[in-house]
């Protein structure tokens, strides 16, 4: 089997060659759409109204970020943050683009100037939206400089709008970063509330001080402690003297001897116990004084007071034990007093009784004074605790008040800052004078031109890949139709004029006018018509000057090689040439192949017209009806069918009564005669393959079936259906791609 008959199984996707072919084949669509895009772009440039722009540049050196922490006095109130193109600069760009900034600018410049009076320019929101739409804000590289551009069709307003926009941006920057959402009214209200609270606390402090009856609670507390200690000391002395006076009075009243006798019966007190008893009494006196002093400063639940009282309890327990063991210790001073007073003149019981009553009155008074002083000291303690609490609250409120006061002053300073007074923002370039901006026109022009070019390319690919289902290239015959391709015949033109229809040329050549010579002898030595006065379009297929003659010879050589490779040496060889549609070039291909086969000189070649439709290509030759097939098979009657040296022309339109009227049956009866004839090749010009044509039925008798496919017209689906019909007759057709046009230049893509 020949290499070109091998079915290729390569993928049928669009490759680079297919793209080239699609672009050059659809070049006029691409050029037309590209030209339309170019015309639209030119129209935009000519008829679009001019746009003017003004440009300014702003440098943001740093950002003073006040984070609104005024409620917490321990935190910082502000922080300077350096600009970062990925962070701070991005927030500044958003401030410049904000609708809140465009609204006041529209109010200042005037909505009627921005929108236009003819467009009903009184809508503030529409004017602000137009400003935001025509504003271009971007950071310059990785620097802290911001480029601000405003565009408008009116050159008189671009510069004022941009200048007011920069001024408004500086105010908005202060509002966003330095106040951080806390307005002056809130700060004033908070400050007034704190001031009123401080005034109430001061009034409460004065009230508690007046209630305590002292200008200084600390000094009063210390004075009360000293006074309580002095009263307790005097009370202890008076009680001790009272106890002694009472004991002496009892002795004077006669109780002393009996007690002395009673004492005599008791054991004698050792000196060391006496000394111990005195020390215990002294310690108890000292602890009682300490307790009195502590009670002036602390309550009875205090740890200090409890410790002292615990020590007093221990000493009193030891003292009572000594008194139980040695009762005479309690009245050890009575004998001494009696002996001391025994020699004193005028000392009697009435005087001692008077003195005792005096001491009792003194102790009662001291007890009363002690209670009064202790009550007053308690009131001072309560006042001191409340005053301490109020002072702590006052200190906290004063700290908050000072912080609010500072924040309020800073807010007033920020509010008083006007345009150009923000220290961290500098205007590097003031708004420039209005200048024409071609970018707004160039962009739609580029879009229109790009859409034209891309639309043309997309349309070309859409037609090639989706819409156009015709067979266009030789590679498609192999990859998409899976048919062996025998030959590709190009579509030729004459001197750049309209393409010559091969079918019409064959009809013009084989259907001669009645004025033509009637015999081959009259035609000249070679048996062909006189072509001296004919145009180049009427060159017969068997003439070597025919433009397609070289391709017919190639088809002949491929066919002969095929027969030799497959060992087909019998004669005659039946070759059917058909197509899938009319006008594919079957007649011209059959005539050209028959003519080139007759040029070999080995034997006769018969061209049979199997078309029975009206207007067939070969019904007449030289003004006479063409010979029938049955006549051409007889040597005696075939001379009129000779059209060229060893080339005969016949038709199945003969009406011989000896043959059946039905063409398939008639052809079947002629097959034995065909095989017994002295022709080397019999070429059949078959009708197009269809469900009703005779071609699939007669193709089974053929040695070779060539399926002519007209490039760019024959549908792939139709070819597949025709191939399927032929396959049902067990016929493997070979493809001939006719009228192929190579659109891609040879320098870009070489083809055989």
Model confidence pLDDT, tens digit, residues 548-576: 888 888 999 999 999 999 888 888 889 99
pLDDT band at 219 (very low <50, low <70, confident <90, very high): confident
Q: Tell me whether residue 199 is in a domain.
A: no
Same domain for 393 and 294, yes or no, is yes
Same domain for 416 and 378, yes or no, is no
| pLDDT score of 497 | 40
| pLDDT score of 708 | 93
Residue 685 DSSP symbol: E
pLDDT (tens digit per residue) in 221-238: 777 788 888 888 888 888
Residue 727's alpha-carbon distances to 251, 255, 723, in angstroms, are: 165, 166, 6
Lowest mean pLDDT across 127-136, 529-538, 557-566, 708-717: 529-538
Distance (Å, whole) CA 612 – CA 625: 14
In this predicted model, which residue has the larger pLDDT, 203 or 613?
203
What string of H, E and C letters represents the secondary structure of 573-619? EEEEEEECCCCCCHHHHHHHHHHHHHCCCCCEEEEEECCCCCCCCCC
pLDDT (tens digit per residue) in 366-378: 888 888 888 877 7
Distance (Å, whole) CA 162 – CA 56: 8
Same domain for 116 and 93, yes or no, is yes
| pLDDT score of 14 | 64
In this predicted model, which residue has the larger pLDDT, 301 or 100?
100
Phi/psi at 437 (5° precision): -115, 115
432: β partners? none
Q: Which span out of 170-174, 296-300, 549-553 was modeled with the highest average pLDDT?
A: 549-553
Q: Count the helix, strand and coil residues of the chain and give each as a percent rounded to the nearest 5.
A: 55, 15, 30
Distance (Å, whole) CA 213 – CA 217: 9
Same domain for 414 and 403, yes or no, is no
Phi/psi at 501 (5° precision): -75, 115
Q: Tell me whether residue 266 is in a domain.
A: yes
Contact of 170 with 419, CB cutoff 8 Å: yes
Residue 180 DSSP symbol: T
Distance between the two ends of the chain, CA-based, in angstroms?
Answer: 21
Confidence check: pLDDT of 448 > 80: yes
Q: Which structure tokens are listed for 333?
A: 């001073």
Same domain for 66 and 177, yes or no, is yes
| pLDDT score of 161 | 92
pLDDT band at 255 (very low <50, low <70, confident <90, very high): very low
Largest Cα–Cα separation, the chain: 212
Say how many C-beta atoms besides its own lie within 10 A of residue 9's C-beta. Answer: 9
Confidence check: pLDDT of 179 > 60: no
| pLDDT score of 57 | 92
Confidence check: pLDDT of 706 > 90: yes
Contact of 608 with 683, CB cutoff 8 Å: yes
Whole-structure pTM value:
0.51
Residues near 595 by Cβ (< 8 Å), separated by ≥ 6? 540, 541, 542, 549, 552, 605, 644, 647
Same domain for 246 and 355, yes or no, is yes
Confidence check: pLDDT of 536 > 60: no
| pLDDT score of 438 | 73
Same domain for 227 and 348, yes or no, is yes
Confidence check: pLDDT of 505 > 70: no
Q: Tell me the residue ranges of DSSP E strands in 117-182.
A: 135-139, 145-152
Residue ending a domain, among 420, 436, 452, is 436
Q: What is the average pLDDT value for the chain, to the nearest integer?
A: 74
Distance (Å, whole) CA 376 – CA 227: 11
Element (H, E) at 169: helix 155-174
Q: Tell me whether residue 618 is in a domain.
A: yes
Q: What is the mean pLDDT of residues 460-487?
A: 86
Distance (Å, whole) CA 569 – CA 680: 10
CATH number of the domain within which 609 lies: 3.40.50.300
Residue 501: left if φ>0, alpha if ψ -120 to 50, beta else—which one?
Answer: beta
Rg (CA), the chain: 67
| pLDDT score of 662 | 53
- Tell me the residue length of the chain: 752
Distance (Å, whole) CA 351 – CA 249: 9
pLDDT (tens digit per residue) in 350-369: 677 777 778 788 888 888 88
Q: What is the mean pLDDT of residues 717-730?
A: 89
Q: Tell me whether residue 448 is in a domain.
A: no
| pLDDT score of 149 | 92
Q: Tell me whether residue 253 is in a domain.
A: yes
Q: What is the mean pLDDT of residues 147-173?
A: 89
| pLDDT score of 620 | 44
Same domain for 384 and 507, yes or no, is no
Structural domain span for residue 281: 217-407
Same domain for 281 and 425, yes or no, is no
Same domain for 50 and 94, yes or no, is yes
- Closest to 583 measured CA to CA, from 656, 475, 503: 503
The CA-based dihedral angle spanning residues 630, 634, 636, 642, taken in that order and rounded to the nearest 10 degrees: 70
Q: Which structure tokens are listed for 188?
A: 């004033």
Same domain for 394 and 417, yes or no, is no
| Number of folded domains that form the chain | 3
Q: What is the mean pLDDT of residues 601-623?
A: 64
| pLDDT score of 345 | 45
Q: Which structure tokens are listed for 381?
A: 């303690």
pLDDT band at 184 (very low <50, low <70, confident <90, very high): low
Q: What is the mean pLDDT of residues 62-79?
A: 51
Q: Tell me whether residue 482 is in a domain.
A: yes
Q: What is the mean pLDDT of residues 29-51?
A: 86
Lowest mean pLDDT across 91-105, 107-121, 675-689: 107-121
Element (H, E) at 54: strand 52-60
Element (H, E) at 244: helix 217-250
Lowest mean pLDDT across 38-47, 248-257, 497-506, 740-749: 497-506
Residue 636's alpha-carbon distances to 22, 661, 740, in angstroms, are: 56, 24, 42
Q: Tell me whether residue 196 is in a domain.
A: no
- Burial call 632-651: b when 16+ CB within 10 Å, e when fewer: bbeeeebebbbbbbbbbbbb
pLDDT band at 49 (very low <50, low <70, confident <90, very high): confident
Same domain for 64 and 165, yes or no, is yes
SS3 651: strand
- Closest to 596 measured CA to CA, from 688, 652, 588: 588
Q: Tell me whether residue 651 is in a domain.
A: yes
SS3 702: coil
Q: What is the mean pLDDT of residues 331-355?
A: 53
């Amino acid at each position: 089997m020949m290499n070109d008959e091998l079915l290729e199984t390569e993928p049928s996707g669009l490759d680079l060659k297919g793209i080239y072919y699609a672009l050059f084949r659809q070049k006029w669509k691409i050029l037309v759409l590209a030209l339309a895009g170019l015309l639209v772009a030119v129209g935009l440039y000519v008829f679009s109204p001019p746009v003017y722009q003004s440009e300014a540049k702003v440098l943001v050196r740093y950002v003073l970020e006040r984070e609104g922490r005024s409620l917490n006095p321990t935190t910082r109130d502000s922080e300077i943050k350096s600009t970062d193109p990925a962070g701070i600069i991005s927030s500044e760009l958003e401030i410049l683009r904000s609708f809140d900034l465009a609204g006041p600018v529209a109010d200042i410049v005037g909505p009627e100037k921005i929108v236009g009076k003819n467009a009903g320019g009184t809508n503030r929101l529409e004017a602000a939206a137009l400003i935001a739409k025509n504003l271009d804000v971007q950071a310059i590289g990785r620097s802290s400089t911001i480029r601000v551009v405003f565009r408008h069709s009116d050159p008189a307003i671009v510069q004022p709008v941009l200048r007011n926009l920069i001024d408004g941006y500086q105010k908005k920057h202060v509002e966003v970063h330095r106040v951080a959402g806390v307005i002056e009214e809130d700060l004033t209200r908070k400050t007034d509330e704190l001031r009123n609270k401080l005034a109430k606390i001061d009034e409460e402090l004065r009230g508690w001080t007046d209630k305590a009856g002292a200008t200084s609670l600390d000094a009063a507390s210390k004075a009360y402690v000293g006074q309580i200690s002095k009263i307790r000391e005097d009370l202890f002395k008076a009680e001790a003297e009272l106890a002694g006076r009472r004991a002496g009075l009892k002795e004077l009243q006669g109780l002393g001897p009996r007690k002395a006798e009673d004492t005599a019966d008791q054991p004698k007190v050792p000196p060391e116990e006496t000394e111990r008893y005195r020390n215990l009494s002294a310690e108890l006196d000292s602890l009682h004084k300490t307790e009195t002093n502590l009670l002036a400063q602390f309550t009875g639940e205090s740890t200090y007071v409890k410790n002292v009282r615990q020590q007093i309890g221990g000493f009193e327990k030891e003292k009572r034990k000594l008194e139980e063991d040695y009762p005479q210790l309690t009245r050890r001073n009575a004998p001494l007093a009696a002996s001391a007073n025994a020699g004193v003149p005028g000392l009697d019981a009435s005087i001692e009784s008077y003195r005792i009553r005096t001491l009792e009155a003194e102790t009662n008074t001291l007890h009363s004074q002690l209670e009064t002083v202790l009550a007053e000291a308690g009131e001072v303690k309560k006042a001191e605790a409340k005053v301490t609490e109020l002072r702590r609250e006052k200190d906290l409120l004063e700290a908050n008040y000072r912080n609010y006061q500072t924040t309020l002053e800073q807010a007033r300073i920020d509010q008083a800052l006007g345009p150009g007074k923000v220290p961290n923002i500098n205007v590097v370039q003031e708004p420039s004078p209005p200048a024409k901006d071609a970018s707004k026109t160039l962009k739609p022009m580029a879009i229109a031109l790009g859409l034209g070019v891309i639309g043309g390319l997309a349309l070309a690919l859409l037609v090639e890949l989706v819409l156009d289902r015709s067979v266009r290239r030789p590679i498609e015959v192999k990859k998409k139709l899976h048919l062996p391709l025998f030959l590709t015949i190009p579509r030729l033109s004459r001197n750049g004029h309209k393409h010559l229809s091969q079918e019409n040329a064959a009809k013009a050549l084989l259907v001669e006018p009645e004025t033509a010579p009637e015999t081959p002898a009259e035609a000249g030595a070679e048996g062909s018509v006189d072509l001296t006065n004919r145009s180049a379009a009427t060159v017969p297929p068997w003439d070597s000057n025919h433009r397609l003659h070289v391709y017919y010879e190639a088809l002949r050589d491929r066919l002969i090689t095929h027969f030799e490779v497959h060992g087909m040496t019998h004669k005659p060889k039946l070759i059917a040439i058909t197509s899938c549609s009319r006008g594919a070039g079957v007649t011209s291909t059959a005539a050209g192949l028959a003519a080139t086969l007759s040029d070999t000189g080995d034997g006769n070649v018969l061209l049979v017209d199997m078309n029975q439709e009206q207007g067939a290509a070969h019904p007449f030759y030289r003004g006479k009806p063409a010979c029938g097939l049955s006549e051409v098979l007889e040597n005696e009657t075939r001379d009129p069918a000779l059209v060229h040296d060893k080339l005969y022309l016949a038709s199945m339109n003969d009406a011989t009564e000896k043959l059946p009227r039905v063409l398939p049956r008639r052809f079947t009866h002629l097959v034995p005669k065909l095989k017994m004839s002295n022709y080397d090749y019999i070429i059949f010009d078959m009708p197009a393959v269809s469900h009703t044509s005779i071609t699939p039925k007669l193709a089974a008798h053929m040695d070779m079936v060539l399926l002519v496919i007209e490039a760019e017209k024959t549908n792939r689906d139709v070819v597949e259906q025709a191939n399927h019909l032929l396959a049902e007759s067990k016929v493997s057709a070979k493809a001939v791609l006719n009228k192929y046009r190579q659109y891609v230049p040879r320098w870009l893509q070489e083809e055989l």
